[in-house]
C-alpha cells in the first residue's frame, strides 16, 4: 500500500537524523535553554526579519494552539475560528478544557473573512447585554486552511485591520506553513506574517521534522511569561534541544523551503492529471493537499493500492478524498499514482 | 413606562415575603440542611411522583446550568444544545470556563430534534478519529425554548430514546417551566419530565420567586456528590432556607401553577389581539413570551410608554420584539397594552 | 436550642424586609443596572472616600472569591493564602476549578505576614526554574481571619509594601468585615482598605443581610470587564436590585456599623465572663467569634441547650469550640449563655 | 564542564537512533495506531505480567501526570501528594489548570505514608461539612521520590489498602522507575506495580530514550476514553510511532533494566566514596540521584569543572547538591568525579 492520506506517515529528512546522532552524546542544558536551540531561534528571527520576536519550539499543533490561546486570553474571552478550524473540531475540546469558547463561524471557503470578524465584533459590542456573552479577543486562522486553500496578502491585511479596530489578537496556525509558502498562488512571505500577526507558528511535524512547531510571538503581551504556559500545558521537553536542533537543520540553507516546494510541485503534477481527467475538486487547493471528488467505483479500485483520507460523501456515487503529498513523497510514487489515476479514471 | 421586556422586573408573590418575615428570626441550620428546605423537597418529589429523585435549590439559571453540567461530565465530554440555547450564547462561556464544549446545533425552531442528536452521535462514533473530537455526552434543552416554543411529549420521548441509544444524559432547563406547563399547547407533565430526563429544573426566578431554581435529579450518577459541585460553583447559600422556603410557598396549594396560568392567559389575550391586527410572529409561541414583528414606526410610538426587548431586525422597516407577561402582570396592564396596540397598529 | 455556632442562623434586619416589600412591585431593570443598586454603589464609594472605585454586589463569599480571583489572574498565576484561609480549605477547590493554585502558607496566627509573602516571592524569582512553578500574583487575606483575629493597620501597610515590590494584587475577603471594624482592637478604616487593597469586599450575609457581598475594586486592571466574570461565574442575578437594596439599607444611617458593634459588644461580654472563669482561648479573637477551650464534660452539659461549632480537639478532655454572636444575638440570649457558662464552668 | 546535575543531558541509547533511522522512511499509521507501537505495548504487558492493562505512550512527565489525573477525576475531586511531589511544586500548577486541587501533605522523607493518607480521608469523611472541601480521590506517588528514595513493597501494600478503604485511585509516577528497580534496596517488581496501582508509568525520558513515558492503566475506569484525554491535553503525536519504537527498543533484551542498573551502580560508587569521606547526605537515596551536603568552599572548587544542582542551603557554610548519574554516565566520568571529590574533600 502507498499512503497518500496525510503528510506525516514518514519520519524526517535525513539531515535531522544525522544531526541528532552528532549531538546525541553532547551534554546540553535542559528545557530549551541550550545553545543549539538558541541558534535555531536566531535562524527564525532572521527569516522573519525581526530581532524583537520571541521564538519557542513546541512538540505539536494541539499543544501549540492550546498554549498560545491560554497564554493570550483572560477567562471571559474567546477565540474566533472558522467552523472547520482545527481548534473548533479536531482537538477534543482542548481550548474549552483550557476554559475558552471557540466562536466558530460557518465558512464556504474554509477561511475566515475580515467581514465576518467585523460582523461578530460589531454585534457583540452593540448588544446591550454583551457581558452575557463570551468576549471575542482573538482570531485563529489556519494557513493553509484545513481544505488546503490559503489566505492572500490582501485578505490577511484586511483581517489585521479588523483585529486592530476591535482589539483582537491575530494568531495564525502554520502547521503546514511551508506548503502555503510554496504554493503557486502564494503572495505572503514569512516577514509579512511576522508583521501582520501577533503570533504564528511554522510547522515542522508535517514539513520534514520528526515533530515540532516553531512559535513566533511578535506581541509582547503574549510573549510575557510564555514559558510558564509551555510548562503548565505539558510542552516543556527535558531534552528541548531536540526541537531546536530540528529547526536548526530545517532552516539551514533553505531546506524547509526546498522540501516544501518539492511536495507542492508533486501535488501540482497530480492536480494537473486530475484536471485533465475532468475530475472536479471539493476545494480550490493549490498546496500539498488535494481534494478530488472521485466516483466511488474508481475509489474502490484505487484503494486496493493506495490509502487516501475520506473527506466527505458528496452523493450516493461520489466521495471527496484527500490526497496529500509531503516532503517525503518521491517522484516515482507520484508518477505511479498518476498512472493509476489515469488507468482507473480515464 | 410599563415594562413588558422580560419576566423578572418585579420581586415575588406576596406570600413569599410573608413567609420570609415569619421565619426571619427563626434560627435555622445553614447550607440548605434545614427543615423548611426539606419540606420544599418533599413537595417537589410529590409533584414529580417520585420519592427517589434528589432535589437541590440553586440561586439562578446560569449557576444551575453550570453546576449540573460540571457534575455530570468528564473532561473530554461536551453537551449538545441548540445554537440559540442559553448555555450556547447567553452565559459568557460559563460551560467552557468549566472546561466543556457546547456542541451547538443550528435550529430553525429554536428546539432540538431527536434526528439532529442522532446525526451528531452517529457521525461522532463512526468517525475513525472520533477521539480527536469532543465526546457528546449530554443533551441540553430549554423548555420553553428561548423563543417561547415548547417540546411536545412525543418530541421529548423521541429525544429520550436517542439519549438512551447513545448513552447521553438528558438535561432540561426549566427556567420558565411554569409557563410551558400552562400553555394551551402543552401535553407534558412534571411527572413526564421526572421520568424522561436525567435532570431538570423548575424555575422560580421568572415564576413568582425573588430568585431560585429547583433542580430535580433522577439519575444517581449525577446526584452523587452533587452538593460538592454546588459549593464549588459558588451556589451554596449560607441561608439556604431562603431558597427552600420560596419553593415551599410556591408549590403549596398549586400557587406555582396558578400564577403561571394567569401569565399565559394574559399573553394569550395579547396574542389574540395581535393576530386580529394581522401582525405576524417571529416564533410560534404559546407561552408567556410573544415575538410579534412590528413596523418600526409603530414600535417607536409604542416605546414612548412601553419597554420591549428587541429580538431581531427583520428588514429595514420591521423589528421582532419580545413582549413578556409574568406572574406579576395585571389585567389592567394587559388591557392597557392591548388598547395601545390596537390604537397604534389598527 | 439556642444556636451560637455561626453568624448566619437568622434572616436579616427588619428594615431590609420592609424595603423589599416596598419595592416588590416596582418594575426595575435587571442584572444590577437599576437605580436602587446605583444608590447603594454611591453609599459604598462615599464610605470608602473614593469615587473612582468600582462596586459590584455578589450573592456569597465563595462566589465573590472565585469571581475576583478569576478576573485578576492569568492561567499561570496563583494566589497566596494562609493555610487556614477560606479559599484554601472551605470552598471545595473552587479556585482550582477556576484553574488557579492556592499557594497555602502555614500560619500560627491564622494570618499572613509581610515576611512570609516576601519569602515566597523572593524564593520564586530567585529559583532558576521559576517557570516550572505557579507564579505568585495575588495575596488573599481574610479579615477577620477564620480564627476571629484581625490585621492591624501597620500589618496591612507592610503587606501592601511587599505586594508593590513583587507586583502582587492584594485582595481582602471581608465576609465579616463589620465585626472587624467594630473590634476594640481595630485601627483600620474602610478608607484604609480602599487605599491599601486592590480589591476587597464588605460582607452582608453574616452582617445583617439575607445574603450579599459588596465588592470594591480599586485597581482598574481587575475592574475591567468584571461584569463578564460575574455572569460567567453564575453571580449575575436577574433581580440584582435585591443585592443593591440590602446594602442601600444596611449602609443608610450607619446601620451596618451599629449592628456590628452590638454583636461585638455581646461577644466581649461573653469573653469577659469566660476569662473570669479562667477559660483559655484557642485564638486571640476580639471580634464576634470566640474560641474558648472547654472541658468536654462542661461542653456536653452546655450542648443540651446550646449549639456551638467544634473547632478542634485539643486533648482527650478538652475541645476548642466556636461561639459566635451576630447582629441578631439579643441581650437576653447573651445573658442566658453567660449564666449557663458560669453555672457549668464555675 | 562535566554535567552531573540531572539525568537528561544526553540524547538516547544508540540502538534507538538506529531503529529510528531504520523506520524513518516506512509509511506508518499516525497517532500511535501503528504496528511498531503495538509491539511495544505487548512488551510492556508481558513485563507487567498482565494482558488486561492498557498501555499508552506520552511525551513527558508533566503531560503524563496531567493527562492521567484529568482522565481519572471528576471536578470536585483532588489528588493527595507529598508536598515535594512533582505535581505539587514543579509543574506550574498544571493539575490546578486542569481544575483539580493537589492536596499536599508535608513529609520528612519525601514519601507519603499509608497513615497520612488514612488521616486525610478519615478527617474528610468525618467532617460534617465535608462537601465544603475537595474530595480526596487519588493518591500520587513518585517512585523514586524527588529525593531519590524509594517505596518498599510493604509500604506500597499498606498504601493500597488505604486506597481500597477510601475508594482512592493509586497513581505512581515512574519518571525514574528504572533507577528504582535497579536500587540495591529495591524489593518491588513491575508486576507488583501493575497489581498494586490503578495506573503508573515507566519513564523513558530520563532512562535512555530521547523522550517518552509508558503509561500502564490497570483500572478500566481510568482506561475508558483515555485517548480522548491524550488528544485534549496535547499529547497525541502525529508520528506516535516515535514513542512506541523507543520503548520497543528499550524493553527488548532487558536493555531498560541494564542501563538503569549501570547508572545506579555508578551512583553507588560515588556514594561509597562520599561516605568514606564522611560526607553526610540530605536524603537516604540508593538510586541514581545522590544529595550530599558539601562545604561551600569545596563546592565552589568542584564547580569549576562540574555542574551540580543546588538543592538546599543547609547553613551558612554547607549546601545540599544533587549529583545524578544516568544511563549515559561513563565509568571514566564516574572515576574522574570520584577522584576530584577525594582531592577536594579529602
Q: What is the pLDDT of residue B9?
A: 94
Q: What is the pLDDT of residue B4?
A: 96
CB atoms within 10 A of CB B226: 20
The arithmetic mean of pLDDT across residues D4-31, rounded, is 96
Distance CA(B246)–CA(B227), nearest Å, equals 20
Question: Which of A27, A102, A229, A327 is the best mutation test for D, with the most CBs of D within 10 A?
Answer: A27
Distance CA(B219)–CA(B196), nearest Å, equals 11
User: What's the pLDDT band for A163 if we cut at 50, 70, 90?
Assistant: very high
Which residues on chain A are in Cβ contact (under 8 Å) with D232?
Answer: 62, 91-94, 97
Rg (CA), chain B: 21
Question: CB burial class (10 A; 0-12, 13-18, 19+) of residue B261?
Answer: middle
Distance CA(C144)–CA(D15), nearest Å, equals 64
Contact A92 B129 (CB under 8 A): no
Distance CA(B49)–CA(B52), nearest Å, equals 9
Contact B101 A93 (CB under 8 A): yes
The arithmetic mean of pLDDT across residues C186-210, rounded, is 98
Q: Of the candidates C71, C132, C225, which has its C-beta nearest A135's C-beta? A: C225
Contact B31 D129 (CB under 8 A): yes
Q: How far away is chain B from the Cα of A131, in angstroms, using its nearest Cα?
A: 7
Around B146, how many Cα atoms within 13 Å sit in the side-chain half-sphere?
A: 19
Q: What is the pLDDT of residue B110?
A: 95
A289 DSSP assignment: E
Q: What is the pLDDT of residue B88?
A: 97
Which residues on chain C are in Cβ contact (under 8 Å) with D96?
Answer: 78, 95-96, 99-101, 134
Q: How far away is chain A from the Cα of D140, in angstroms, using its nearest Cα?
A: 17
Nearest to D241 by CA among D28, D47, D9, D21: D28
3-state helix/strand/coil string of chain D: CEECCCCCCCCCCHHHHHHHHHHCCCCCCCCCCCHHHHHHHHHHHHHHCCCCCEEEEECCHHHHHHHHHHHHCCCCEEEEEECCCHHHHCCCCHHHHCCCCEEEECCCCCCCCHHHHHHHHHHHHHCCCHHHCCEEEEEEEECCCCCCCCCCHHHHHHHHHHHHHHCCEEEEECCCHHHHHCCCCCCCCHHHHHHHCCEEEEECCCCCCCCCEEEEECCHHHHCCHHHHHHHCCCCCCCCHHHHHHHHHHHHHHHHHHHHHHHHHHHHHHHHHHHHCCCCECCCCCCCEECEEEEHHHHHHHCCCEECEEEEEEECCEEEEEEECCCCCCHHHHHHHHHHHHHHHC
Q: How far away is chain C from the Cα of A125, in angstroms, using its nearest Cα?
A: 12
Q: Mind listing the pLDDT tens digit for each residue in C48-101?
A: 999 999 999 999 999 999 999 999 999 999 999 999 999 999 999 999 999 999
Q: What is the pLDDT of residue D6?
A: 94
User: What's the pLDDT band for C335 if we cut at 50, 70, 90?
Assistant: very high
User: What's the pLDDT band for C315 if we cut at 50, 70, 90?
Assistant: very high
User: What's the pLDDT band for D334 if we cut at 50, 70, 90?
Assistant: very high
Contact, B201 vs B213, CB < 8 A?
A: yes
Q: What is the pLDDT of residue B315?
A: 97
Contact C98 B93 (CB under 8 A): no
The arithmetic mean of pLDDT across residues B75-99, rounded, is 97
Q: Mind listing the pLDDT tens digit for each residue in D279-310?
A: 999 999 999 999 999 999 999 999 999 999 99
Q: Rounded mean pLDDT of chain B?
A: 97
Nearest to B240 by CA among B25, B36, B42: B36
Distance CA(D132)–CA(D118), nearest Å, equals 19
Chain C residue with CA closest to B204: the answer is C238
Nearest to A101 by CA among B101, C233, C71: B101
Distances (CA, A) of C37 to A16, A242, B262, C28: 66, 59, 30, 10
Chain B residue with CA closest to C225: the answer is B92
All cell numbers assigned to B88: 450556547
Contact, D1 vs D206, CB < 8 A?
A: no
User: What's the pLDDT band for A40 if we cut at 50, 70, 90?
Assistant: very high
Which residues on chain D are in Cβ contact (under 8 Å) with B228?
Answer: 76, 131, 135
Rg (CA), chain D: 21
Q: What is the pLDDT of residue D190?
A: 98
Q: Of the candidates B6, B97, B236, which has its C-beta nearest C62's C-beta? A: B236
Chain D residue with CA closest to C87: the answer is D133
Distance CA(A199)–CA(B78), nearest Å, equals 29
Q: What is the pLDDT of residue A267?
A: 98
Which residues on chain A are in Cβ contact (under 8 Å) with C236?
Answer: 131-132
Q: Would you put residue D225 in left (φ > 0), alpha (ψ -120 to 50) or beta? A: left
Which residues on chain C are in Cβ contact (under 8 Å) with A131?
Answer: 225, 227-228, 230-231, 236
Percent of chain D with pLDDT over 70: 100
Q: Rounded mean pLDDT of chain A?
A: 97
All cell numbers assigned to A183: 504554493
Contact, C114 vs C159, CB < 8 A?
A: yes
Rg (CA), chain C: 21
User: What's the pLDDT band for B225 if we cut at 50, 70, 90?
Assistant: very high
The arithmetic mean of pLDDT across residues A274-292, rounded, is 98
Contact, D229 vs D71, CB < 8 A?
A: yes
Contact B132 D231 (CB under 8 A): yes
Q: How far away is chain D from the Cα of A64, in angstroms, using its nearest Cα?
A: 8
User: What's the pLDDT band for C145 if we cut at 50, 70, 90?
Assistant: very high
The arithmetic mean of pLDDT across residues D81-104, rounded, is 97
C218 DSSP assignment: -
C265-272's contacts with Cβ under 8 Å and 24+ in sequence apart are C265/C182, C266/C325, C266/C329, C266/C331, C266/C334, C267/C323, C267/C324, C267/C325, C268/C184, C269/C334, C269/C338, C270/C323, C270/C325, C270/C334, C270/C337, C270/C338, C270/C341
Contact, C263 vs C179, CB < 8 A?
A: yes
Q: What is the pLDDT of residue C309?
A: 93
Contact, B155 vs B117, CB < 8 A?
A: no
Contact C229 A135 (CB under 8 A): no
Does this complex have an ipTM over 0.95? yes
Which residues on chain C are in Cβ contact (under 8 Å) with B8?
Answer: 30, 238-239
Q: Of the candidates B90, B97, B132, which has its C-beta nearest A75's C-beta? A: B97
Which residues on chain B are in Cβ contact (under 8 Å) with D131?
Answer: 225, 227-228, 230-231, 236
The arithmetic mean of pLDDT across residues A100-112, rounded, is 97
Distance CA(D182)–CA(D178), nearest Å, equals 6
Q: Mind listing the pLDDT tens digit for each residue in D154-207?
A: 999 999 999 999 999 999 999 999 999 999 999 999 999 999 999 999 999 999
The arithmetic mean of pLDDT across residues A247-275, rounded, is 98
Question: Which of C131, C223, C227 is the best mutation test for A, with the most CBs of A within 10 A?
Answer: C131
Give all chains having 3 or more CB-to-CB distances under 8 Å with chain C.
Answer: A, B, D
How remote is the C-alpha of A54 from its chain's centroid?
Answer: 19
Chain D residue with CA closest to A326: the answer is D27
Q: What is the pLDDT of residue A112?
A: 98
The arithmetic mean of pLDDT across residues B207-233, rounded, is 98
Contact C90 D133 (CB under 8 A): yes
Which residues on chain A are in Cβ contact (under 8 Å) with D211?
Answer: 237-239, 242
Contact, C143 vs C150, CB < 8 A?
A: yes
The arithmetic mean of pLDDT across residues D329-335, rounded, is 97
Q: Mind listing the pLDDT tens digit for each residue in B160-176?
A: 999 999 999 999 999 99
User: What's the pLDDT band for D73 if we cut at 50, 70, 90?
Assistant: very high
Which residues on chain A are in Cβ contact (under 8 Å) with B75?
Answer: 97
A298-301's contacts with Cβ under 8 Å and 24+ in sequence apart are A298/A344, A298/A345, A301/A344
Amino acid at each position: 500500500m502507498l499512503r497518500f492520506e496525510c503528510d506525516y506517515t514518514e519520519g524526517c529528512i535525513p539531515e535531522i537524523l544525522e544531526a541528532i546522532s552528532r549531538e546525541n552524546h553532547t551534554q546540553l542544558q535542559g528545557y530549551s535553554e541550550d545553545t543549539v536551540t538558541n541558534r535555531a531561534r536566531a535562524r527564525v528571527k532572521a527569516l522573519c526579519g525581526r530581532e524583537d520576536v520571541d521564538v519557542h519550539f513546541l512538540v505539536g499543533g494541539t499543544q501549540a494552539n492550546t498554549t498560545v490561546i491560554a497564554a493570550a486570553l483572560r477567562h471571559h474571552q474567546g477565540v474566533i475560528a472558522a467552523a472547520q478550524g482545527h481548534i473548533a473540531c479536531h482537538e477534543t475540546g482542548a481550548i474549552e478544557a483550557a476554559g475558552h469558547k471557540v466562536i466558530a463561524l460557518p465558512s464556504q471557503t474554509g477561511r475566515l473573512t475580515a467581514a465576518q470578524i467585523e460582523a461578530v465584533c460589531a454585534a457583540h459590542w452593540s448588544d446591550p447585554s454583551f457581558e452575557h456573552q463570551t468576549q471575542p479577543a482573538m482570531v485563529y486562522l489556519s494557513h493553509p486552511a484545513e481544505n488546503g486553500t490559503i489566505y492572500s496578502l490582501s485578505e490577511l491585511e484586511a483581517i489585521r485591520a479588523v483585529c486592530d479596530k476591535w482589539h483582537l489578537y491575530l494568531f495564525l496556525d502554520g502547521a503546514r506553513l511551508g506548503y502555503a509558502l510554496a504554493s503557486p498562488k502564494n503572495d505572503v512571505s514569512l516577514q509579512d506574517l511576522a508583521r501582520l500577526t501577533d503570533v504564528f507558528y511554522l510547522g515542522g511535524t508535517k514539513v520534514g521534522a520528526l515533530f515540532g512547531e516553531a512559535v513566533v510571538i511578535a506581541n509582547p503581551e503574549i510573549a510575557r511569561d510564555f514559558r510558564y504556559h509551555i510548562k503548565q500545558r505539558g510542552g516543556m521537553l527535558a531534552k528541548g534541544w531536540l526541537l531546536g536542533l530540528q529547526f536548526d537543520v530545517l532552516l539551514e540553507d533553505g531546506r524547509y523551503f526546498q522540501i516544501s516546494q518539492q511536495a507542492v510541485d508533486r501535488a501540482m503534477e497530480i492536480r494537473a492529471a486530475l484536471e485533465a481527467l475532468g475530475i472536479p475538486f471539493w476545494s480550490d487547493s493549490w498546496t500539498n493537499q488535494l481534494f478530488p471528488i472521485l466516483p466511488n467505483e474508481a475509489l474502490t479500485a484505487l484503494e486496493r493500492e493506495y490509502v487516501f483520507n475520506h473527506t466527505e460523501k458528496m452523493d450516493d456515487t461520489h466521495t471527496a478524498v484527500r490526497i496529500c503529498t509531503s516532503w517525503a513523497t518521491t517522484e516515482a510514487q507520484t508518477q505511479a499514482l498518476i498512472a493509476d489515476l489515469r488507468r482507473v479514471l480515464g
